[in-house]
Chain A
C-alpha cells in the first residue's frame, strides 16, 4: 500500500500553503478535505446562479506577500484589489467616513471633533510602530523559552534584541498594547465616542471579548499588520472572492504534482507506538503517510481526531482549556441592485468600503453582553462590504454580493444548540439593522445565506465557529500558541504536526502558520528550505 510522504488534513488556506511548500521540497503530498471543495474558511461558491459567495472570510490583507510570490499565486489567478475606506453610520442620520486621502480623513473627523481629527497622526504613528515590531515575527517560528537549544536561544535573543531596540516609551506601549482593552487604548488618543467606535471594531472582530475587555488592543493590531502590496494596514478584496486565494493555492499545488482528495473526511489519525502513520477516512479507508499535518484547529485535532490515551495529560488539559469560543456569524446576501443609504451621498466612495452601524462604544459592549448571556446580539455589530462595487466577477452586472460579518453570536443559545428558528432570528436582527439605514433593503434581496457558529462549525470544522482557530489573546500568542511547549508546529505524537491558525502567528487568511509549519517539517526531514523566502525586510 502506498505511503504518502505527507498527508494534510484539511484543505484550508494554511493546509494548502503547507502542502505547496512540502510538495515543492520534493515530497509526495496528499491533501484530504471533507468538503466537496477546497478552501476551508477562505472559499467562494456560487450558491445562487450568477452570484459568487465569500461564505466566511471576505477581505484580504494579512496573507503574506512572500507566500504569494514563493507559490506563484498570481500565475494561478490570484489578484488582490485595495478597497476604499468605509464608514460608521450614526443614529442621528449622519455618518463618519474613513477616507484614504490623509487630509480628507482629517476633515471628516473634524466634522465631529477638531481635536480628534488632529490626534489621528499620533495614533497612526504608534500603531505603525507596533506593526513594524510584530511583522518580522510572523514568518518565524516562536522560540521555546524553556529550551536551551541554540536555535531557540537565538530566536529568543532575536525577540529580546527587537524589544531592546525599542525606546523606553515604546516598550511601555508594546506591553500595554498586548494587554489592554481597545477601549482604554483609544481613550489615550481620542475623546469622541463615534471615532472610538470606528476604530474599536478591529479590536473585537472574531473575538469573544468586548471592547472593554483586556487584550482587545492586540486584536486591533492583528488587523493592522497586514498589507496590500506594501501599503501596510490596507485591506483589499481577492478578485473572485476569498476563494480565489485557495483556488490559486490548489492550482499551484497541483501544478507542482500534489494530490487533493475532496469529499474525504478524516475520522481519526492512525497512531502506532506514539507515532502518526496516516489517517482513516469516515468510510473506513486507511491512507498511510510518513507524516500527518493537521490544518484543523487544535481542539478538533487532538480531541476528535486523536484518541485521548495517546496524549500526555497536561497537554490534553491545556488543549481542552484553549479558548476558541464562537463569537460571530455571517449573513451573505445576493442583491438585485446596489442598496441606497439616504445618509450617504450617492457618489460617496464609502459604498466601495466597509460599512458599520455601531456608533458608540457602549452599543458595542452591550452587544457583547448578549453574548455573555448566551444569545445573539439584538443590536449586533456588523462589518458589511459590497465587494462587487470593485470586483465584477462575483455578480451579474448591476447586481451585487454583500457580505455581513456579524457579532456577537454565541456558540450555544442559553446552553442549548442553535435551532433553525434561532438562525432565522439571528438573520432578522441583521436585516432589520441594515433596513433601518437603507429603506427598501429587503426588496433587493435575491438570496441569502445565514451562518451561525453552528453552520460554520458543521461546514468548515472550526470549533465553536471561532474564525481564528483560537482567540488572539496574549496568553495564547507566540510561544504559548496553541499551548506552551508545543508552539513549534510539532505535537506530542511523532510525525503529527499542526499548521492551522491555532498555531503562531494566529488567525486571519495569513498563510504564515502553514508556511512556518512546512519549514519545521522540512527541518525535521533535513530537507532544504531554499524555496521559502524569508520575511520581507521591514526598513
Chain B
C-alpha cells in the first residue's frame, strides 16, 4: 500500500515524536536555509549575490557571472543542485506507478539509466518536468522544480510502493564542462569513463557511495552527483582538489541559466506555468504546447492526462507552441512580445540571450498557434532596451529554429575526452 514514510517507528513513543517535532520549531529563524555545501560556497561567494531557490540561499553568481559561464564552456564548473526537489520512489510497483504518472515509458528505462520526463494532471496539463533516475529495478529518484508529494502519494494508491521526499537528506552537485570527465577520473572515480550519456552508476566515496550520472543542464559534457547530506563536504573537497589543475570553478545560477538556454532546455515556472501554480485558467499547458510532445508514448499503458492529451490532439485544441527563435541583431529579447507582420500580437519570449557559443541572438518563446506551428513567416519581436533611462524600441525579425541552439560533440563522445 502507498504510505507516506513519516519516520514513525512503532517503538517510538508519542512523546518522542512530539519532542522531535518541537525540536524542528526553530526553522523560523532561518528563512533561507544553507545547503550541505553552504560552508564551501559561502567561502567562495565574493559577490554575495543570493537568490531564493525553494527556500535555500543560492548564488546568482559567486565571483563574475560572465566568467562563470565560460568556466562551463572551457573547463569545469561546479553547481550546487541540492535545493532541487527529490523523491525516492521504491517498491515492487515503483515502475508501474511511475509509468502511470509520467509521460514516457518507464518500462524501457533500464536500471542505471536516467531520462528527462514530465507529468500531467488529469486534464493533460503539465504539473512539472524533471529527471527520473532508475537506481535499481525497484528504486527510483525523481528530481523536479516544484513539489508533488500529495500528487505522488494519491497516485500511489493501489500500488505497492513507498514515496519519500528526500530533498534535505540528499545533496546534489552538477559538474559540467569539457574537463568534467577528467576531473572525476582524477578524483578517483574509477570506471566513470564507462558512463554514456544518461547512464548512472554508484561509486565509493568517503565510506559510503555517490551516485554519478552523465547528465546535466548545460548541453555540454557533464555529470551530476548525489550523496547523503553528511558526505557532501568531503565530495566537494575531493572534486575541488582533484579539479584544481583542470580549472574547476564553483558557479552560480546566472551562468548555468545561460548554458541551459543555449542547450534549448526549458525551466518550469519560467518558460511555462505549472498546472498547480496557475491561478489563471488559460495558463496551464499541455506537453505538446511546450515542446514536450516527444515524451508522450501512446504505445504504453494508461498514464495521467492521456485521454485529455489525445482529445486535444484529435480536436485540434492545442492552442500554443513553444519554439526556439533566432532574432536578428545582438540585443537580448527577454520578455519581448512576439508579433506576426509587426502588428498582430502572437506570443511572448520567456528567455533570451546573445549566445557566445552560437554567436547568434537566441530565445525561447511561447506562441499562439498556428504561429510558430504552421505559420512561421514574417515573425517579429519588439525589444524594449532600456538605455540610460530611455527605451530604445526595436522591431527585429525572428526566425523559428530548432532547439538545441548549440550541439557539442563532446557532450556525447565515448569515451569522453579530457577536454
Q: Which residues of A contact B (CB under 8 A)?
A: 92-95, 97, 99, 101-104, 106-108, 111-119, 121-122, 125, 128-129, 132, 165-167, 169-170, 189, 345, 347-349
Q: Which residues of A contact B54 (CB under 8 A)?
A: 103
Which residues on B sit within 8 Å (CB–CB) of A128?
279
Task: Name B31's contact: one of A101, A113, A122, A345 (CB within 8 Å).
Answer: A101
Cβ-based interface call for B29 (8 A): yes
Pick from A95, A108, A169: contact of B123, CB under 8 Å: A169
Binds A, one of B60-68, B90-98, B147-155: B147-155
- Majority SS at the chain A contact face: helix
Q: How large is the interface on B (under 10, 10 to 19, 20 to 34, 35 or more residues)?
A: 20 to 34
Q: Which B residues touch A94, using CB under 8 A? A: 18, 21-22, 25
Asked whether B28 lies within 8 Å of A115 as measured between CB atoms, the reply is no
Are B6 and A166 touching (Cβ within 8 A)? no
Interface presence of B224 (CB below 8 A): no
Contact assessment for A125 and B278 in the assembled complex, using a CB-CB cutoff below 8 Å: yes
Per-residue A-contact encoding for B1-29, CB less than 8 Å = 1, 0 else: 00010100000001000100110111111
Return B7 CB to nearest CB of chain A, in Å. 9
**CA–CA, A118 and B149, complex, Å:** 6
Q: Does chain A have a CB within 8 A of B277?
A: yes
* Cβ-defined contact, A99 with B28, below 8 A: yes
Contacts A103-B52, A118-B149, A119-B150 supplied; 20 other A-B pairs, CB < 8 Å: A95-B25, A103-B31, A104-B27, A107-B27, A107-B55, A111-B25, A114-B6, A114-B165, A115-B4, A116-B150, A117-B149, A118-B148, A122-B150, A125-B276, A125-B277, A132-B279, A170-B281, A345-B25, A345-B26, A345-B28
Selected A-B contacts with CB under 8 Å, 29 pairs: A92-B14, A94-B18, A94-B21, A94-B25, A97-B28, A101-B31, A102-B55, A103-B31, A104-B31, A106-B147, A107-B24, A107-B27, A108-B28, A114-B4, A114-B149, A115-B150, A116-B150, A117-B149, A118-B150, A121-B277, A125-B276, A125-B277, A128-B279, A129-B279, A165-B281, A169-B123, A345-B25, A345-B26, A348-B28
Q: Which residue of A lies closest to B276 (CB)?
A: A122
A347 (CB) vs chain B CBs: closest residue: B29
- Check A121 against B279 for contact (C-beta < 8 Å): no
Q: How many angstroms from the CA of A348 to the CA of B26 in the assembled complex?
A: 9
Contact B4 A118 (CB under 8 A): no
C-alpha gap A119/B4 in the complex (Å) = 13
Question: In the bound complex, how far is the Cα of B18 from the Cα of A111, in angstroms?
Answer: 10
Task: Decide: B4 and A113 in contact? CB cutoff 8 A.
Answer: yes
Task: Give the residues in chain A near B32, CB-CB below 8 Å.
Answer: 103
Contacts of A189 in B (CB 8 A): 150
Q: Which residue of B lies closest to A131 (CB)?
A: B279
Whether B153 contacts A115 by the Cβ 8 Å rule is: yes
In the complex the two chains form, what is the Cα distance from A167 to B153 in whole Å? Answer: 26
For A129, the chain B residues whose CB sits under 8 A away are 279, 281
Cross-chain contact of A113 among B6, B25, B27, B281 (Cβ < 8 A): B6
A106 touches B26 (CB 8 A): no
Interface 0/1 of B38-59, CB less than 8 Å to A: 0000000000000010110000
Chain A residues with CB under 8 Å of B55's CB are: 102-104, 106-107
A-chain residues with CB within 8 Å of residue B147 when the two chains form the complex: 106, 118, 121
Q: Shortest CB–CB separation between residue B83 and chain A, in angstroms? A: 10
CB contacts (< 8 Å) of A125 on chain B: these are 276-279
Instruction: Tell me the bound Cα distance from A475 to B149 in angstroms.
Output: 38
> Could you tell me the distance in whole angstroms from the C-beta of B407 to the nearest C-beta in chain A?
36
Q: Which of B21, B29, B146, B150 has the most CB of A within 10 A?
A: B150
Cβ contacts under 8 Å, A119 to chain B: 149-150
Partner of B281, one of A97, A103, A167: A167
- Nearest-neighbor residue (CB-CB) of A129 within chain B: B279
Shortest beta-carbon distance, A24 to chain B, in Å?
35
Tell me the minimal C-beta distance from B34 to chain A in angstroms.
Answer: 13
The 8 Å CB contact of B18, one of A92, A102, A108, A170, is A92
B55 closest partner in A (C-beta): A103
Q: How far is the CB of A495 from chain B (nearest CB, A)?
A: 44
Q: How far is the CA of A169 from the CA of B125 in the complex (A)?
A: 13
A111: which of B14, B24, B278 is its contact (CB, 8 Å)? B24
* A102 to B277 alpha-carbon distance, docked (Å): 13
**Would you call A118 and B28 a contact (CB within 8 A)?**
no
